[in-house]
Chains A and B, each alone.
Chain A
Amino acid sequence: MRANVWSGRNTVQVENVPDPKILNSRDAIVRITSTAICGSDLHLYDGYVPTMKKGDILGHEFMGEITDVGKDVQTLQVGDRVVVPFPIACGTCNQCQAEMYSCCENSNPNAGLAEKMFGHPICGIYGYSHLTGGYAGGQAEAARVPFADVGPLKIENGLPDESVLFLSDIFPTGYMGADMCNISPGDVIAVWGAGPVGQFAIASARMLGAERVIAIDKYDYRLRMALTRAGATEAINFDEQPDVVEQLKEMTGGRGPDACIDAVGMEADHGHGAVHAYDRVKQAARLETDRPHAIREAIMACRSGGVISIMGAYGGFMDKFPIGPLMQRSLTVRTGQCHVQRYMRPLLQRIQNGEIDPSFVVTHRLQLNDTPEGYEKFKHKRDDCVKVVLKP
């Protein structure tokens, strides 16, 4: 089959690779009908996530049709149409039983490696470095899906691929970002990053009853999408208004937002200034893995007693983390790789009810063979790129 493989920093290419096979009795094989490039794929592409190997197939947002099942899969049949959640989860360990699927204790065969990096291991993830198990990803014509009796969500109502594909990651991820803010009436939520996850965090915050949602980014086309499609009430372009914290105070009568969502992660962009240069250099020299600009701003801006909800992906360690403001002002940090299995059913219901059509984020549709072009466009925000969907 054809698949998009990582072959070094800033290089991916579509190659012929062997077809996926059943390795465990609870596996299924999915013929992929739609897949996508995630913002977190860019961290792998840029080489900021350790334990990538040449030849790793990327991609963790995919859906398709079941073509084979292992002998212990009772819940799915050949021909079923499914969306596959990105965390691989066994469903039976203590974490899965507590619906903390991305903390699954059994699905990461490289648990020892992950434990060294993170203290305790996290779940397996498709196409997302060997720290998360070394599973082949879904930017391919087909993929093996372990624990197929737990993860995949059956789609039975003829909704088009683009309306349900993002249940695999970015819609639940944005939703969890808003869910963790404990939104109550009158709340003002600020969202750093108007990429795909940011768009869904904004839309979800509105669905959960936020009074106002402020989108923060430096690309006007993304802020426009946030305002016109996702439901943001205001926007800050930090390229034009660099003092975001001051701006947010001004917009909230000095209180600061009730909750701040970081939908940016480890490659935060400041655009200018000495602090940004400092972090760029440290990250490039591998003295820190993560650039902390967005999270620093979120902490400084948040109202006392508010919530910092981190959905942007971070990989390791950062410097100059404002622990003092966090402690002194009674802030709460909530975060985690999304527990997609917990959210995908209720969110499918919202799609069916017509409350939201997630396909609004799609700006580019490419053939699988053109995946490398998709990475370049997405990375450099060319051609007003927000979300690339690939068709195998």
Chain B
Amino acid sequence: MHEYKLARFLGWFSLALGAPQLARPDLVNRLIGARDDRESRFWQRAVGVREVAAWAGILSRRRPAGWLWARVAGDVKDLALLGAAFRGKRESSPRLAAATASVAGVTALDLYTAVRLSRHADSTTEEEHKGMKVKASITVRQPLAEVFVVWENIENLPIFMEHVESVRPTGNGRSHWTAKGPAGRSVEWEAEVIAVTPNEIIEWRSVEGSDVENSGTVRFTPAPGLRGTEVHLEIEYDAPGGKLGEAVAKLLGEDPAQQVKDDLRRFKQVMETGEIVRSDATPEGTGARKFTKQRPAQPLEEPEPALVGGRTS
């Protein structure tokens, strides 16, 4: 598999770039003909850290595709930084041009390797399992029957499932789902419950031809010593847009594994305290939103009416 060899080569290449950037950013600046000041040294060091991380990641992982994609993203950023360096200089610089040309070349190589590796990864994982599986569990301090009944009446789920906008039962164990997809897209699908054992388990799957193919189970067991009820949720699905869609969603801060965990936390909040708990930084409540996108911890100018007051259950 020559793409694996290529990946290893690119890994060592990362180290060869990153180490001098970390150790002597001033020399690197001079070598590529960029302005040598505190800011550009900071950026050299930052890029150096990333390169060393890429080296470690690519060489230590069985499937380095993700790190190769990270390299591609890094290349794009480097090109942007070099663009900024161009703007910062008054006269044209042949060295800067040469550096830009080399980065563009490496970008092409990274992209090629990443695509090849991803294809390869896809073809092998297809046999292992379809799509993506996420699991989470939580303990709720309520009797099992009361916990079960909330899930059994699936129109309740949007109360605590942050991305699900509505679930409308359509009869015969079927339901129509509307959810927020990555990047603000709305996705819809039909689901059917395929098995229910009261107070134990609910299993469902999307009907054939859905936008988002998914299936899952939610299991309920009493927690020992009167600690309430354990809820174990497992969802398997093909993300909209396949692997690329999944990668984009992660970049936007929508990590599916974290989402499922946070949804269960919201469920627990509703069951134990009566509503979704809100802070000034997260007025929408617990969610997979990245820290960098949060508001500062100070009161909202005007709270949205939907956020104010009333119990949601």
At the interface, yes or no: B199 with Cβ under 8 Å from chain A? no
- Which residues of A sit under 8 angstroms from B311, Cβ to Cβ? 25, 72
Instruction: Name B297's contact: one of A22, A53, A147 (CB within 8 Å).
Output: A53
In residues 264-313 of chain B, which contact A (Cβ within 8 Å)? 265, 268-269, 272-275, 277-283, 285-288, 291, 294-301, 303, 307-311
B303/A23 in contact, CB under 8 A? yes
Provide the residues of chain A in CB contact with B277, threshold 8 Å.
24, 90, 106-109, 124, 146
Quick check: B273 and A136 within 8 Å, CB to CB? no
B291 & A113 in contact (Cβ 8 Å cutoff): yes
Set of chain B residues within 8 Å of A130, measured between Cβ atoms: 281, 291, 294, 297
- Given the contacts A94-B227, A109-B282, A53 and B296 also touching, CB distance less than 8 Å: yes
Identify which of A21, A22, A108, A144 gathers the most chain B CB atoms within 10 Å of its CB.
Answer: A21
- Ordered by A's residue number, 9 sampled pairs between the chains whose C-beta atoms are within 8 Å are A21-B303, A54-B296, A71-B309, A92-B272, A106-B273, A109-B286, A109-B287, A113-B291, A133-B281
For the complex, give the distance between the alpha carbons of A70 and B228 in Å.
28
Return B284 CB to nearest CB of chain A, in Å. Answer: 9
A204 to B296, CA, bound (A): 37
Partner of A21, one of B285, B287, B308: B308
- Residues in A with CB closer than 8 Å to B281 are 53, 56, 109-110, 130, 133-135
In the bound complex, how far is the Cα of B297 from the Cα of A127, in angstroms? 7
One of B299, B309, B310 near A17 (C-beta < 8 A): B299
Whether B303 contacts A56 by the Cβ 8 Å rule is no
Are A17 and B298 interface neighbours, CB within 8 A?
yes
Which residue of chain A has the shortest Cβ distance to B266 in the bound complex? A109
- Interface majority SS (helix, strand, loop, mixed), chain B: loop
Residue of A nearest to B312 (CB): A25
CA distance A90 to B286 in the complex (A): 15
Residues of B within 8 Å of A61, CB to CB, are none
Q: Is B261 an interface residue (CB 8 A)?
A: yes
Say yes or no: A23 contacts B298, CB within 8 Å: no
Cβ–Cβ contact B272 & A51, under 8 A: no
Q: Is B75 an interface residue (CB 8 A)?
A: no
Asked whether B262 is an interface residue with its Cβ less than 8 Å from the other chain, the reply is yes
Residue in A21, A53, A112, A135 whose CB lies within 8 Å of B279: A135
B17 shortest CB reach to chain A, Å: 22
The answer to whether B297 and A57 have CB atoms under 8 Å apart is: yes
Task: Pick the residue among A19, A26, A97 that contacts B299 (CB under 8 A).
Answer: A19
Q: Is B141 an interface residue (CB 8 A)?
A: yes
- Hey, which chain B residues are within 8 Å of A147, CB to CB? 273
Say yes or no: A55 contacts B308, CB within 8 Å.
no
Which residues 139-168 of A sit at the B interface, judged by CB distance below 8 A? Answer: 144, 146-147
Interface residue? A324 (CB, 8 A): no
Please determine whether A136 and B297 come into contact, CB atoms closer than 8 angstroms.
Answer: yes
Q: Is the CB of A56 within 8 A of B296?
A: yes
Question: Contacts of B268 on A, CB cut-off 8 Å?
Answer: 93, 105-106
Query: B297 contacts A56, CB within 8 Å?
Result: yes
One of A23, A54, A71 near B283 (C-beta < 8 A)? A23
Of listed B287, B288, B291, residue having the most chain A CB within 10 A: B291
A residues less than 8 Å from B297 (CB atoms): 53, 55-57, 127, 130, 134-137
Query: In the complex, what residue of chain B is closest to A121 when comparing beta carbons?
Result: B265
Interface residue B178 (Cβ < 8 Å from any Cβ of A): no
Complex CA–CA separation, A130 to B258 (angstroms) = 17
- A146 CB contacts on chain B under 8 angstroms: 277-279
Query: With A110-B279, A136-B280 given, can you name 14 additional A-B contacts, CB distance below 8 Å?
Result: A5-B298, A53-B297, A93-B141, A93-B268, A93-B272, A97-B141, A105-B268, A105-B272, A106-B272, A109-B287, A112-B262, A112-B288, A133-B279, A134-B279
Q: Does A26 lie within 8 Å of B273, measured CB to CB?
A: yes
Chain B: which residue is nearest A116 at the CB level? Answer: B258
Q: Does B139 have its Cβ within 8 Å of any Cβ on chain A?
A: yes
B261, B265, B269, B298: which contacts A136 (Cβ < 8 A)?
B298
Smallest beta-carbon distance A110→chain B, Å: 7
A106 to B311 alpha-carbon distance, docked (Å): 15
Asked whether B269 lies within 8 Å of A106 as measured between CB atoms, the reply is yes
A188 to chain B, nearest CB (A): 38
Kindly state the separation between the CA atoms of A355 and B268 in the bound complex, as whole angstroms.
42
B255 to chain A, nearest CB (A): 9
Chain A neighbourhood of B273, CB < 8 A: 26, 90, 92-93, 106, 147
Name the residue of chain A whose CB is nearest to the CB of B223. A94
Contact of A55 among B275, B285, B291, B298 (CB under 8 A): B298
Q: Report the nearest A residue to B273, measured CB to CB.
A: A90
B-chain residues with CB within 8 Å of residue A90 when the two chains form the complex = 269, 272-273, 277
With a cutoff of 8 Å between Cβ atoms, the chain A residues found around residue B265 in the complex are: 106, 111-112
A135-B280 in contact (CB<8A): yes
Minimum C-beta distance from A5 to chain B (A): 7
Shortest distance between the CB of A335 and any CB in chain B (Å): 23
CB closest residue in chain A, given B226: A94
Give min CB distance, B213 to chain A, whole Å: 26
Query: Counting chain A CB atoms within 10 Å of each CB, which of B228, B262, B268, B296 scores highest?
Result: B296
Binary contact track A94-119/B, C-beta < 8 Å → 1, others 0: 10010000000111111111000000
A22-B309 in contact given A53-B297, A55-B296 (Cβ < 8 Å): yes
Q: Is A18 part of the binding interface, using a Cβ–Cβ cutoff of 8 Å?
A: yes
CB pair A21 B298 closer than 8 Å: no
* B17-51 interface bits toward A, Cβ cutoff 8 Å, 1 = contact, 0 = none: 00000000000000000000000000000000000
| In the complex, chain A residues 13-40 whose Cβ is within 8 Å of any chain B Cβ | 17-26
**Which residues of the other chain, B, contact A56 by a CB distance below 8 angstroms?**
281, 296-298
Contact B298 A24 (CB under 8 A): no
Q: When the two chains form their complex, are residues B298 and A3 in contact, meaning their CB atoms are under 8 A apart? A: yes
Docked-complex contact B310 and A25, CB < 8 angstroms: yes
Q: How far is the CA of A53 from the CA of B297 in the complex (A)?
A: 8
B310 A23 Cβ-Cβ under 8 A = no
Query: Does B303 contact A112, Cβ atoms closer than 8 Å?
Result: no
Shortest CB-to-CB span from A259 to chain B, Å, is 31
- Contact of B299 with A18 in the complex, beta carbons under 8 Å: yes
A118 CB to nearest B CB, Å: 15
Which 9 A-B residue pairings sit nearest by Cβ, starting from the closest? Answer: A134-B281, A55-B296, A56-B297, A109-B282, A23-B278, A136-B280, A18-B299, A134-B297, A20-B299
User: Chain A CB within 10 Å — which of B273, B274, B287, B307 has the most?
Assistant: B273
Pick from B269, B274, B301, B303: contact of A25, CB under 8 Å: B274
